[in-house]
Chains A and B, each alone.
Chain A
């Protein structure tokens, strides 16, 4: 149950996010976007927002299953794309990923999962170039803060409309924009292997961690205040460590300073420079 703090005026959020996609795409002189549709709620939500912002004819969805992906995922991705009337195609990543891991048969799930995420990224960026379409990111704020994503993989994008929206808010907004019920109701999963669910792998529920992150990050509660609020000490410390240890994923690569004007340190411009 939400304690209220993560409740969201979805009309307002929708206005801001749809406007964001429309303006930030057009600003760079383009009219189209491309995104990976996994069959999960995050990418479905972004597809709905993008179709509203740019028109369904200007949004392209790529569905990229691996041989161990749950077939239900592809079905849900198709369902979302067909409901929106956006162009979509299925590109299976099994041949590329398996060709690589033939050299490293002992590679663990993390390496395989990362490779799959990066394989998908290269496909999206190829379609970006082929279609003059910006790649839309689908990482939500919870994943970004916990580092639950692959750097230069699913975390890579030109524009991310939902990166400041917690998973609990993704659910609310998805209902408001009409994401199919079956996609909203299923358990979140990275779908790297059969039966995997995010919450099982993380060891807590999204609702629990979203409440904690909201108080820790957005409201800047101190540790004592979080304890007084009823969050467990172990949970607080574990999440604090996750946020801190994954911070490198949220930054550009570190550049060694030599000159008087180093990119991003004392050479500072907005990305929308001249736009």
Chain B
């Protein structure tokens, strides 16, 4: 179906869940006013990114009052938002929650926790163990959190699981100023979202945050990418924004006819070869 999406390019405060929930509530209200059926927030929107030892302090259980509040807000609009989720055995996950119709419908726990260079996620967070597509009133979807998207197998699994919309929540730090027109991280992500959507004939809804944490900027530039890899709407760089765009079912239908890559993709060949590789590696 056709729908309107809003990408809430916010500037979370580091470690301040109540303040960030208020930011989210305001953005949800704006998105509803703009006629959106779905609003997407960045990775760790409820907490900020460079949390380090704050992780346990800002984590929420899935029955926490903040989660109940987001459930209530989702009576009017579907909401996807990032937070730190704590499980009953006290593992802390970098999670994305999908709410709709007053209920929590789907949880994705970030699988690929970058722990290199400027990143230190695996030190503080537990790793998710699955990529699962899920049904929504906008069609079948899959969620990726930032680094997940850099592992081609992740969108591959979601696309093979029937997702036609990939939701990507991001906290991408700005880095790589050269003579080029764009920041290194901006150029890399723009290539990635366009290529991913083309490889899998999926639309990509990418929401990145803005603001600074300890001198590190987050560059924004949230975007709606069509299943053919073209950008339909893009947010401002480095500034808060609410990107509102119309997503058309016809675009997906036509792209799947022009370029039936997913129809032709052989799950059995892939599986057979991956199993062989796994066997051979085990030797």
Which residue numbers of A lie inside 8 Å of B, CB to CB?
Answer: 4-5, 7-9, 12-13, 15-16, 19-20, 23-24, 27, 159, 267-275
CB-defined A-B contacts under 8 Å, sample of 20: A9-B177, A9-B181, A12-B182, A12-B183, A13-B177, A16-B177, A19-B212, A20-B215, A24-B212, A24-B215, A27-B212, A268-B52, A269-B52, A270-B50, A270-B54, A272-B50, A272-B213, A273-B14, A275-B13, A275-B14
**Is B179 in contact with chain A by the CB < 8 A criterion?**
yes
Return B70 CB to nearest CB of chain A, in Å: 22
Q: Which residues of B contact A269 (CB under 8 A)?
A: 52-54
Q: Say whether, besides A16-B238, A23-B211, A268 and B53 are in contact (CB < 8 Å).
A: yes
A7 touching B15, Cβ below 8 Å = no
- A-chain residues with CB within 8 Å of residue B53 when the two chains form the complex: 267-269
Q: How far is the CA of A24 from the CA of B214 in the complex (A)?
A: 8
B211 to chain A, nearest CB (A): 7
Say how far B77's CB is from chain A's closest CB, in angstroms: 29
Q: Which of B14, B50, B238 contacts A274 (CB 8 A)?
A: B14
Chain B positions 223-252 with a Cβ under 8 Å from a chain A Cβ: 237-238
Would A7 and B179 count as touching, CB distance under 8 A?
yes
Residues of A near B180 (CB, < 8 A) are 9
Give 9 nearest A-B pairs by CB, closest first: A7-B179, A268-B52, A270-B50, A23-B212, A270-B214, A268-B53, A272-B14, A13-B177, A272-B213
Residue of B nearest to A23 (CB): B212
CB distance from A253 to the nearest CB of B (A): 19
Contact status A4-B14, CB under 8 Å = no
Task: Give B51-71 as 1s and 0s: 1 = Cβ < 8 Å from A's Cβ atoms.
Answer: 111100000000000000000
Q: In chain B, residues 6-33, which have Cβ atoms closer than 8 Å to a Cβ of chain A?
A: 13-16
Would you call B178 an interface residue if the criterion is a C-beta within 8 Å of the partner chain's C-beta atoms? yes
Q: Which residues of A contact B181 (CB under 8 A)?
A: 9
Known contacts A19-B238, A20-B212: does B217 contact A274 (CB below 8 Å)? Answer: no
How far apart are the CA atoms of A224 and B180 in the complex, in Å? Answer: 28
CB <8 Å contact, A7 and B211 = no
- The CA of A156 and the CA of B181, in the complex, are separated in Å by 33
Contacts of A9 in B (CB 8 A): 177-181
Q: Tally chain B residues at the interface, Cβ within 8 Å.
A: 25
Contact B214 A272 (CB under 8 A): yes
Q: Shortest beta-carbon distance, B55 to chain A, in Å?
A: 10
Q: Which residues of B contact A268 (CB under 8 A)?
A: 52-53
A4 contacts B179, CB within 8 Å? yes
Closest to B19 in A: A274
What CA separation (Å) do A4 and B180 show in the bound complex? 11
B35 at the interface (CB under 8 A from A): no
* A7-B179, A9-B178, A16-B177 given; A271·B238 CB < 8 A: no
Residues in B neighbouring A16, C-beta threshold 8 A = 174, 177, 217, 238
Asked whether, in the complex, the Cβ of A12 is within 8 Å of the Cβ of B14, the reply is: no
Q: Looking across the interface, which residue of chain A has its beta carbon closest to that of B237?
A: A15
Please name all residues of chain B whose beta carbon is closer than 8 Å to the beta carbon of A272 when the two chains form the complex. 14, 50, 212-214
Measured CB to CB, the nearest residue on chain B to A15 is B238
Assess whether B212 is in contact with A273, with CB atoms less than 8 Å apart. Answer: no
Contacts A4-B179, A19-B238 aside, 4 further interface pairs with beta carbons under 8 A come to A7-B178, A9-B177, A12-B183, A15-B238
Query: Looking at the complex, which one of B14, B179, B182, B212 makes contact with A8 (CB distance below 8 Å)?
Result: B179
Contacting residues, chain A, for B52 (C-beta < 8 A) = 268-270
When distances are taken between beta carbons in the complex, the residues of chain A under 8 Å from B15 are 273-274
Bound Cα distance A5, B266 (Å): 44
Q: For the complex formed, measure the closest distance between the CB of A251 and the CB atoms of chain B, giving whole angstroms.
A: 16
Query: When chains A and B are docked, how far (Å) is the Cα of A23 from the Cα of B54?
Result: 21
Q: Indicate if the CB atoms of B211 and A8 lie closer than 8 Å.
A: no
Which residues of chain B come closer than 8 Å to A275, judged between CB atoms?
13-14
Closest to A2 in B: B179
Bound-state Cα–Cα, A274 to B174, Å = 21
Asked if B13 contacts A274 (CB within 8 A), the reply is yes
Contact B16 A274 (CB under 8 A): yes
Residue from the list A7, A19, A267, A270 in contact with B213, Cβ < 8 A: A270
Nearest CB of chain B from residue A265's CB, rounded to whole Å: 11
Contacts of A24 in B (CB 8 A): 212, 215
Question: What CA separation (Å) do A4 and B179 show in the bound complex?
Answer: 8
B179 touches A273 (CB 8 A): no
Give complex CA distance A4, B238 in Å: 26
Please measure, in the bound complex, the distance between the C-alpha atom of A267 and the C-alpha atom of B54, giving whole angstroms.
Answer: 10
User: Are B13 and A8 closer than 8 Å at their CB atoms?
Assistant: no
Instruction: Write the B71-110 contact mask toward A (1 if CB under 8 angstroms, else 0).
Output: 0000000000000000000000000000000000000000
